[in-house]
A and B are shown apart, each in its own frame.
Chain A
Amino acid sequence: GAGVSQTPSNKVTEKGKYVELRCDPISGHTALYWYRQSLGQGPEFLIYFQGTGAADDSGLPNDRFFAVRPEGSVSTLKIQRTERGDSAVYLCASSRTGGPGDTEAFFGQGTRLTVV
């Protein structure tokens, strides 16, 4: 597609439920990133994929958070047993290679998750 697409744009869920957030990167981009942006803060790194594998998942806050990218394109961020503190905007970005000379990551519009 023309840009990074994230669905849904808004998600309201009850505490304790499971949610999945989807990211469609720009076609051909091998690097994909998930960030989380809480109100009044900058985006915080969660996980980075290079192709199908998670090259760096050090930003995932705990084992309730998991992400996959089985075919090296679409990625899904999964959150189990959601808590109110998980409420935030979840941003996805992709870049062509993720290598040292790859200077631009393109961001999606984000999914606003609200846990009630």
Chain B
Amino acid sequence: GEDVEQSLFLSVREGDSSVINCTYTDSSSTYLYWYKQEPGAGLQLLTYIFSNMDMKQDQRLTVLLNKKDKHLSLRIADTQTGDSAIYFCAEFTGRRALTFGSGTRLQVQP
């Protein structure tokens, strides 16, 4: 079955790195995604990684994928107050739709 899990909350200080973790269960996942949701706003795609990769870097964002452990992480370097939001991990499987985790609320303290 499909199940994506994330921790609920993360608090960091401005300028520190944030690491948000996610585990998934469906080994047939082809793509794994990170979305950002700010209050009152829609879901914004941050980055994605194909399942045959183990790392992807995009400016301040680094995605690590451990396919053996079905573990995905998002590292945000030099976290800013504007990064405060809810971050969702999602997997895309053969059903052609996304399965989302319940989200990690990132709070950035000035």
Contact = CB atoms under 8 A, between A and B. Distances in A.
A41 B103 contact: yes
Contacts of B100: 35, 42-44
Given A42-B88, A100-B30, A103-B48, A33 B42 contact: no
A42 B101 contact: yes
A110 B41 CA distance: 8
A33 B97 contact: yes
Max chain B Cβ within 10 angstroms of own Cβ: one of A48, A100, A103, A104 = A103
Given A41-B103, A42-B4, A91 B98 contact: no
B96 interface: yes
Size range of the chain B interface in the assembly: 20 to 34
Contacts of B4: 42
A98 interface: yes
B53 interface: no
B43 interface: yes
Nearest to B50: A103
Given A48-B96, A48-B97, A103-B48, A42 B42 contact: no
Size range of the chain A interface in the assembly: 20 to 34
A107 B43 contact: yes
Contacts of B96: 31, 48, 50, 55-56, 98
A109 interface: yes
B97 A108 contact: no
A39 to B, nearest CB: 11
B41 A109 contact: yes
Interface string B67-110: 00000000000000000000010100001111111110000000
B43 A104 contact: no
A41 B99 CA distance: 12
A-B complex: 10 closest residue pairs judged by Cβ atoms: A42-B100, A107-B43, A45-B97, A109-B42, A107-B42, A42-B102, A43-B100, A48-B97, A42-B88, A41-B102
Interface of A: 4, 31, 33, 35, 40-45, 48, 50, 55-56, 58-59, 91, 93, 98, 100, 103-110
